[in-house]
């Protein structure tokens, strides 16, 4: 198999195009972030990378908190809009008819429209060039109850989450396995 060689670039994909809320219930904002992920299990840590020129940057810098909300594929137009428009010039929450709810461990609201919301408190910010990375502890996870089975296990494959890859949005497909399935002994 032949591969074309490109210089190094930001091409790790797909990623979740998260709707990140910041601010307070009285003065909320939402922005789309594609550069996020998990960096540690114990303590549960994540990050988002934000350009310092963005309206939300100063809000997050001052408050020290944000919420990562995972949208469904049905929310693709909302996700795109919230990534294209600035909260400085329009109220994206009103324009997109998004529903807010209070966070449990942060003053920042969550988006009720999203099946999963991760409440985060910034532990460190690091200027990396075009973006600043906000490293944060995940202090609470809110999950829509309809995606929990009778034993309380998360069945997120039913949520129809959205993915982003190289300028395009995709609906995530069906489950192909679960952690450890390749090495699990077969039941007799």
Break the chain into its structural domains and give their ranges: 18-171
Check residues 159 and 75 and name the one with the higher pLDDT. 75
Task: Please give the CATH topology (third level) of the domain spanning 18-171.
Answer: Pnp Oxidase; Chain A (2.30.110)
Q: What angle do CA 53, 48, 142 make, to 5 degrees?
A: 125
Summarize pLDDT for 89-127 with one digit per residue, the tens. Answer: 999 999 999 999 999 999 999 999 999 999 999 999 999
Instruction: Indicate whether 41 pLDDT > 80.
Output: yes
Strand partners, 48: 36, 134
Rg, the chain, Cα only: 18
Instruction: Give 140's contacts (C-beta < 8 A, 6+ positions apart).
Output: 103, 104, 105, 106, 118, 119
Distances (CA, A) of 75 to 31, 78, 92, 171: 13, 5, 13, 10
Fill in the DSSP letter of residue 182.
T
Query: Going along the chain, which residue ranges are E strands?
Result: 18-23, 28-33, 36-40, 45-50, 65-70, 100-101, 110-111, 116-127, 132-143, 162-165, 168-171
Summarize pLDDT for 155-177 with one digit per residue, the tens. Answer: 888 889 999 998 899 998 777 78
Q: What tokens does 47 get?
A: 């990050």
Band (pLDDT 50/70/90 cuts) for residue 66 is: very high
Residue % of the chain over a pLDDT of 90: 74
Q: What is the pTM of this model?
A: 0.93
What pairing do the DSSP bridges indicate for beta strands 116-127 and 65-70? antiparallel
């Amino acid at each position: 198999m032949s591969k074309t060689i490109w210089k190094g670039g930001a091409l790790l994909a797909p990623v979740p195009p998260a709707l990140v809320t910041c601010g307070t219930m009285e003065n909320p904002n939402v922005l789309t972030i594609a550069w996020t992920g998990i960096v540690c299990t114990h303590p549960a840590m994540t990050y988002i990378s934000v350009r310092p020129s963005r309206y939300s940057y100063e809000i997050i810098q001052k408050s020290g908190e944000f919420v990562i909300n995972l949208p469904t594929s049905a929310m693709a137009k909302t996700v795109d809009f919230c990534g294209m428009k600035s909260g400085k010039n329009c109220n994206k929450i009103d324009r997109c008819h998004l529903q807010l709810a209070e966070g449990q461990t942060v003053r920042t609201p969550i988006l009720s429209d999203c099946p999963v919301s991760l409440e985060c408190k910034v532990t460190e910010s690091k200027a990396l060039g075009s973006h600043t990375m906000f490293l944060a502890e995940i202090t609470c996870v809110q999950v829509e109850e309809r995606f929990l089975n009778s034993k309380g296990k998360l069945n997120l494959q039913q949520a129809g989450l959205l993915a982003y890859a190289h300028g395009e949005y995709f609906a995530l497909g069906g489950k192909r396995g679960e952690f450890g399935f390749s090495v699990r002994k077969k039941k007799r």
